[in-house]
Amino acid sequence: MFLLITAALAAACSTLDPRHLSASEQRQPRCSDKFAACAPPASYEATVDASRLELRKQIQLALRMDVPENVSSDAAALVLRRAEKADVPALLELASLYEDEWAILGKCQCKGEENQWDKKRIGAVLAKRLPSAELRSPKLWEDRMAAPLAAIRDLKHQMAMRGLSGGATDDLEAAQRKADLELCEAVHGARTYLLPDTYRDTALAVHRRRDQEAGPAAGEFAATAIQIHEKAKGCTLAAAPAPPKQAAPSTAAPDDEDEDR
């Protein structure tokens, strides 16, 4: 029995000894070497404190396969903790940074081996906690802001026409307040579910869209109304900020882009 155990140990050790590998096997580079040859250069000592690094660097370390494993593991643990506890804006930032870094480092990953990001299942946590793709769509929030802005404009026209005939406008004013509340909720929703730069682009898209649909005055009205709601702490029907005043339109048929003035 002793001889059998000794022989088995010797055989196992021989497979780990580079001298017993074939010439082609000995020429195969290690994963860390292959990764380093592909990825942008980076140098981290085993003693580096990952908690002192910015989030982007921590994500890089979690994806890299050419740095000390303890450093990569520590960085991934910090990213995982953030992914588990972050609010929606912080989750969006984390996901965006990951996408940026994966675009660079993803092609350098070693087949059959997991980086620390994958080992700690950070991607699964993000997928579970991130808002749906629909809620992260700029087009969704552009439409949700543009619709009540168009409704407010139409209601203002109706109030002006009814006012000329001496009719009551209470119902139209209530409808305008409701549309303004919808606009407020859309602005705050967009600021929650979109990254800051994406939100600014979306608000600008609404401005341009209203300009194209109803003229420059409508575009400026949209920009001002959105800015008012950005400053509001919350949205309620009673406390919704009143939209900026706009001159009553002419009673003539609206056939040019200046009808809002």
| Shared-domain flag, residues 111 and 43 | yes
- Residue 163 maps to a domain: yes
- Residue 57 maps to a domain: yes
Among 81, 97, 129, the domain boundary falls at 129
Residue 255 phi/psi, 5-degree rounding, is -120, 10
Burial of 139 (0-12, 13-18, 19+ CB in 10 A): exposed
pLDDT of 214 higher than 90: yes
Among 84, 108, 129, the domain boundary falls at 129
| Shared-domain flag, residues 174 and 226 | yes
Write out pLDDT tens, residues 117-137. Answer: 999 999 999 999 999 999 999
Which two three-digit tokens encode residue 180? 């303004």
pLDDT of 223 higher than 90: yes
- Residue 55 maps to a domain: yes
| Shared-domain flag, residues 32 and 124 | yes
- Residue 70 maps to a domain: yes
> Under a CB-based contact definition with an 8 Å cutoff, are residues 225 and 211 in contact?
no
Count of structural domains within the chain: 2
Write out pLDDT tens, residues 13-54. Answer: 444 444 444 444 444 569 999 999 999 998 888 899 999 999
- Residue 19 maps to a domain: no
- Residue 23 maps to a domain: no
- Residue 175 maps to a domain: yes
Mean pLDDT calculated for residue range 168-190: 95
- For residue 3, what pLDDT is reported? 46
- Percent with pLDDT over 70 in the chain: 80
| Shared-domain flag, residues 103 and 159 | no
| Shared-domain flag, residues 119 and 146 | no
Q: What is the pTM of this model?
A: 0.73
- Residue 21 maps to a domain: no
Domain that residue 98 falls in: 28-129
DSSP 29: P
pLDDT of 240 higher than 60: no
